[in-house]
Amino acid sequence: MRIWAAGAPLTGANNFVVSSAAPISENTGLIRFDQNIGQNQRLFARFLTNNTVQPRPEIYGSALNRAAPTLGNDRLTQRSIALDYTRSLSTTTVVELNASFVRYKLNRIETGQNFDPVQLGFPSYFQQDPLTPCFPAIGITGLGITFNVANNGGGLIGACGIANNAFQNFHNVANFTTIHGKHTLQFGGDFGISTLNSMNNTSSGPSFSFTPAMTQGPNPLVASSQAGSAFASFLLGSGASGSISSSGNGIDILYRYFGFYLQDKWKLYIRA
């Protein structure tokens, strides 16, 4: 099975160059409401939505994209709403109430997700892993892709890492202000709830590395900087290391916070 794009003849050094683009799509919407209710009340509301899709370039072409060492396509979703109510109880007393909610979510699905490694000749017990299968990541010393733009990935073959994170924040604020003679009395408080949900552990990607060590004869146990070929070790199936890992358990965090304040501004004299 072909797993990466063909470059120039084998030279023992990187000689594959590609130029590929992946346009980012962003859709933003905003609804705003601002209304005076009589002379003493004001109501304000705002709703914001943003959907952004950030794909990664298909450096090996669409047919081989599942084996590319690029990060998966990111889908970022943001929703926020804010409400503010202000009322003048008298010429010297004002009450303000504010509530807001923000939700931000990042979802990333790797191009090699749901690929069965057994198709590449791996043992059938690879199918017994309860996590989502993924295309193997293979590293060969001296070979690999380097991106000119950050946050796109890197390596030679395969990348497996699902991102599924969500952050929410709910915030409430109340303020009361009254003026009495030389005193301006203010008091109020806030209360909020924030949560973080992270599920980055649903994939299981095998990883293998190949070095010149196993082909550096005549004695493979004696290191030599002048002998051996990592690519030859790969062709022989003589790996230096291998592992199957996940990113661990999911994370769910919730915390509440609150605060109060009291303030008195006292003027020594009142200007005429």
Question: What does the pLDDT read at residue 166?
Answer: 92
The Cβ of residue 34 has, within 10 Å, a number of other Cβ atoms equal to 10
Question: What does the pLDDT read at residue 105?
Answer: 94
Identify whether the C-beta of residue 70 lies closer than 8 Å to the C-beta of residue 109.
Answer: no
Dist CA 7 CA 103 (whole Å): 45
Question: What does the pLDDT read at residue 220?
Answer: 67
Question: What does the pLDDT read at residue 249?
Answer: 67
Task: Kindly tell me the sign of the dihedral angle through the C-alpha atoms of 85, 89, 90, 96.
Answer: negative
Question: What does the pLDDT read at residue 135?
Answer: 85
Identify whether the C-beta of residue 22 lies closer than 8 Å to the C-beta of residue 74.
Answer: no
Question: What does the pLDDT read at residue 2?
Answer: 64
pLDDT averages per 10-residue partition of the chain, 272 residues: 61 70 91 92 96 87 83 90 94 94 90 83 78 83 78 79 87 93 91 89 78 80 78 86 73 91 83 61
Task: Kindly tell me the sign of the dihedral angle through the C-alpha atoms of 212, 217, 220, 221.
Answer: negative
Nearest CA to 98 among 81, 73, 114, 115?
Answer: 81
Nearest CA to 138 among 193, 84, 89, 207?
Answer: 207
Helix (H, G, I), strand (E, B) or coil at 10: coil
Dist CA 21 CA 58 (whole Å): 8
- Using DSSP bridges, classify how beta strands 183-198 and 163-180 pair: parallel, antiparallel or unpaired: antiparallel
Question: What does the pLDDT read at residue 4?
Answer: 67
